[in-house]
Structure 1
Amino acid sequence: MSIVIRDVREHELDSVLALNNNAGLAILPLDSAKVRRFYEQAEYFRVAERDGNLAGFLVGFGSGADHDSSNFGWFRERYPQFFYIDRIVVASRRRGGGVGRAFYADVQSYAELRYPQLACEVFLDHGADPALLFHGSFGFREIGQHVMAEANVRASMLMKELCSYPWVRDTYGDALPDVPWTQTRALSQPGAQRPTGT
């Protein structure tokens, strides 16, 4: 019954698309081209496996990414350096079983080595209290609200300070130790470079 978090594999993109589009109103729909763009460009694109089955996914981008989300743009206009959680989806049969918490522990471990802040949003128009409580329990706080013009959805913009980042930056700079848990995913886009967080 353990949860395994790992980088997505190309053959899983159709399953990721189906998970996303079955998630309900709290997640914007995707098409296969957008999922492919995530696969080629996202700094963090991991899936959760439970009992050998895909249980969810999380996609994230560093503040220097070429990402077209208006929510990402809202953060970038206000903060110079952050890691942005674009979306997290947990399969309905797996909700409440720890998959979301496992993802947030993993993405924070990734981000705090590279960025001073972790950013995300929660849509407010479709019963947001469970999602707001979940994020509050991880130390996120609302720093504003934004209406996504492209989807006419109001979002609570959330931010969390990553207290380990200054020590990591001062101790290692951009030269993190070469051990498996510090690695970034190999981007499949030709000419893509590993992110440094600066």
Structure 2
Amino acid sequence: MSIVVRDVREHELDSVLALNNAAGPAILPLDAAKLRSFFDSAEYFRVAERDGTIAGFLVGFGSDAAHDSDNFAWFRGRSASFFYIDRIVVASRRRGGGVGRALYADVQSYAELRFPQLACEVLLEEGTDHALLFHGSFGFREVGQNVMHNGHRASMLMKDLCSYAWVRDTYGDALPTASWMPMPRPQSRAVPHRPTGTCA
């Protein structure tokens, strides 16, 4: 069956919370209040659906967001403009089936129209090598490490989005409307971004 990536719906938050908290050492646990704050403020909060059930989700924020994450603050102290992936979670029974790649393809399609870089982190814990390998195979490279306030160490990863410069130079802040183009969620406070960005 095909994978459908779409915006999360409010009545699905309990299912998303359970999926997050069953994900293992690569993902920090959430409570319902924090997940609700993501629903209310995240620029990007989408789920991957397969066979009629949620198989994964991804939450992301633009670099101007009021987001209270240690790792987001680390990136903001080092880069003028980026799109930050706070978390991606794939159900254990769906891993290796393309769900993670579908979510990353979708978030990249969103981000490359608006930001020069995509940023995320992987916790450096036992059992997270698969997450580092996945991100490396998708073009992310380590730009540093951060020790979070809870003592966890994270590998800080970034990926240049080479389409951004052309989109910015061609369309500026007035992107055309297209049915295939992911748009910011209505409740997010997304703002236009116009810094320079280059790809080697």
Q: Percent identity?
A: 74
Uncovered stretches (5+) of structure 2, i.e. residues with no partner: 195-200
**Paired amino acid for 2:112:** E
Paired with 1:185 and 1:118, the residues of 2 have a C-alpha distance of: 16
Instruction: Find the counterpart in structure 2 of residue 113 from structure 1.
Output: 113
Paired with 1:194 and 1:152, the residues of 2 have a C-alpha distance of: 31
**Contact in 2 for aligned 1:48/1:99 (Cα 8 Å):** yes
In the superposition, the TM-score normalised over structure 1's length comes to: 0.94
Instruction: Find the counterpart in structure 2 of residue 165 from structure 1.
Output: 164
**Contact in 2 for aligned 1:42/1:187 (Cα 8 Å):** no
Instruction: Find the counterpart in structure 2 of residue 15 from structure 1.
Output: 15
- Alpha-carbon distance, 1:178 to partner: 1.2
Paired with 1:21 and 1:123, the residues of 2 have a C-alpha distance of: 15
**Contact in 2 for aligned 1:41/1:187 (Cα 8 Å):** no
**Contact in 1 for aligned 2:57/2:88 (Cα 8 Å):** yes
Q: How does 1:120-135 map to 2 (within 5 A)?
A: 120-135=120-135
**Contact in 2 for aligned 1:43/1:195 (Cα 8 Å):** no
1:196 maps to 2:195: no
Q: How does 1:1-198 map to 2 (within 5 A)?
A: 1-149=1-149, 151-188=150-187, 193-198=189-194
**Contact in 2 for aligned 1:7/1:185 (Cα 8 Å):** no
Uncovered stretches (5+) of structure 1, i.e. residues with no partner: none
**Paired amino acid for 2:107:** V
Root mean square deviation, CA, Å: 1.2
- Which deviations, in whole Å up to 9, do the C-alpha atoms of 1:98-143 show, x marking residues without a partner? 0001111111111000000000000111222211111111111000
**Contact in 1 for aligned 2:60/2:85 (Cα 8 Å):** yes
Paired with 1:45 and 1:109, the residues of 2 have a C-alpha distance of: 14
Spell out structure 1 runs of 4+ moving beyond 6 A. none
How many equivalent residue pairs?
A: 194
Paired with 2:63 and 2:179, the residues of 1 have a C-alpha distance of: 23
**Contact in 2 for aligned 1:48/1:57 (Cα 8 Å):** yes
Paired with 1:143 and 1:45, the residues of 2 have a C-alpha distance of: 25
- Alpha-carbon distance, 1:180 to partner: 2.6
